[in-house]
Amino acid sequence: MFRAFLVAMGCFLVAGAAGADVYVWRDTHGSMKYSADPPGPDARDTRRLRTTAGFSCAFAGSLADCGFQLQARARERASIEAIGRDGRRGLRLRTEPGDDHIAGSGAMERSDVYLSQADTGCYQGREQWWEHSILFPEDFAIPTWQMYVVFDFHGTGAGPQANFHVNFAPQADLMQPGNLIFRGYGGSAANGWGEYKATIGQIRKNVWYDFAYHVKWSSGGDGFIEAWVDGVNKLSHHGPTLYAGQGCYLKLANYHTPVCNPYPGCTGPASSVIYGRVSRQDVGGS
C-alpha cells in the first residue's frame, strides 16, 4: 500500500523492480542514439542496457514525497505547478534579488533542491541511466558572462567543483547570451581534476529540453558519461566521473551570479527555472 501511495503522488524509489530496458547504438553516420525499442538493421555497436527502476519523481505532490530537500531563502522559492512536461506537473525554482549566502553559496544566489546520496544511488562502480527535463520560462534571466548552474551531480566531499554540471558559459563576445554546456570533473589533483566540457548551445525560452545520461560512476579510467539533449548526443566522456574516495548526489539547481552589470555593485532580477519528471534506472548486465 505504501508504494502505491508514492506512485499516486508521482514519486517512487524502488529496488529490484523491472525497468524499461534502453538500447544504445550508432547510426550510419556514427552518431550515438538511444531508444526503448530495438534499433533497425543499420544500427552498429548496439548495446541493450538491462535496467531496474531506481527513482522517479513527476512532482505530483510535495518535494518531500520524492525525498528532495530545499536550499533556499524561503519555502515559497520552490513551487509545484501545472506546467510540467506533456501536461504533467513541474517544479519551479525561483531566486529573488539578495538570495545569497544560502548553503555556502557566498555572493551567488541559490534556490536548489537535492537528493541524498542513497536516493541518487551514486557510488563507485555503479552504472545508471538518468532522464530529466528543463524549461526556461519567460522570467528566466538569461546570463551573458555570469555563472549559472541549472543541474548537477555534486560530490560528497571536497573537490574544486561538482562532478557534473549543466550550466551556462560565456561566449567570446561577453555581451551575447551565454551557451548552455555540460561540464564535469573526476579523479584527483594528480590528473588536474579531469575537467571535460561540451557545448549544448543557446537556449530558447518556454521550450522543454529533454536530457538523458548513460553514466558509470568511477574515480578511475573505467568511468564514462554519454549525454543527450533532445535525442542528440552532445557529450561522450570516458574517464573519471567521481573524485577519489567519494560518491555524488543529484541537485536541481537555480544557482547563479546576479544577472546584471556592472557586477559587483548591481542587483539582478528574479529568475525561475522549471523542471519536469526526473528518473533513474540502474543498469546491470547487457
When pLDDT is cut at 50, 70 and 90, the band that residue 19 belongs to is low
> What is the average pLDDT across 118-146?
98
Domain boundaries, the chain: 56-283
Kindly tell me if the per-residue pLDDT of 30 is higher than 80.
yes
Cell numbers representing residue 117 in the block: 546520496
Quote the pLDDT of residue 18. Answer: 54
Block residue for cell numbers 510535495: 62
Cell numbers representing residue 271 in the block: 529568475
Quote the pLDDT of residue 193. Answer: 95
Reported pTM: 0.93
CA end-to-end span of the chain: 33
Cα–Cα distance, 149 to 253 (Å, whole number): 6
Question: Residue 76 carries which DSSP code?
Answer: G
The amino acid at residue 276 is G
Quote the pLDDT of residue 12. Answer: 47
Quote the pLDDT of residue 86. Answer: 80
- Mark residue 76 as left, alpha or beta (left: phi above 0; alpha: psi -120 to 50; beta: remaining): alpha
Quote the pLDDT of residue 246. Answer: 98
Cα–Cα distance, 63 to 105 (Å, whole number): 21
Cα–Cα distance, 84 to 135 (Å, whole number): 9
On the 0-12 / 13-18 / 19+ scale of CB atoms within 10 A, 153 is buried
Sign of the alpha-carbon torsion through 99, 84, 251, 258: negative
Q: Which fold has domain 56-283?
A: Jelly Rolls (2.60.120)
Quote the pLDDT of residue 7. Answer: 35
Quote the pLDDT of residue 4. Answer: 31
| pLDDT tens digit sequence for 59-76 | 999 999 999 999 999 999
DSSP bridge pairs for 151: 166, 252
Nearest residue to 8 (alpha-carbon basis) of 60, 76, 43, 50: 60
Strand ranges in 170-243 using DSSP code E only, listed in sequence order: 179-184, 196-201, 208-216, 224-229, 232-238
Cα–Cα distance, 186 to 193 (Å, whole number): 5
Kindly tell me if the per-residue pLDDT of 25 is higher than 50.
yes
Cα–Cα distance, 269 to 261 (Å, whole number): 11
Quote the pLDDT of residue 150. Answer: 98
| pLDDT tens digit sequence for 73-122 | 999 999 999 987 888 899 999 999 999 999 999 999 999 999 999 999 99
Kindly tell me if the per-residue pLDDT of 3 is higher than 90.
no
| pLDDT tens digit sequence for 185-224 | 999 998 899 999 999 999 999 999 999 999 999 999 999 9
Task: Report yes or no: 160 and 193 within 8 Å, Cβ to Cβ.
Answer: yes
Block residue for cell numbers 547510426: 27
Percent of the chain whose predicted confidence (pLDDT) is above 70: 93
| pLDDT tens digit sequence for 237-277 | 999 999 999 999 999 999 999 999 999 999 999 999 999 99
Give me the chain's average pLDDT, please.
92
| pLDDT tens digit sequence for 151-195 | 999 999 989 999 999 999 999 999 999 999 999 999 999 889 999
Cell numbers representing residue 68 in the block: 528532495
Cell numbers representing residue 145 in the block: 558572462
Give the DSSP H or E segment for 23: strand 22-26
What phi and psi values does residue 227 have, to the nearest 5 degrees?
-130, 135
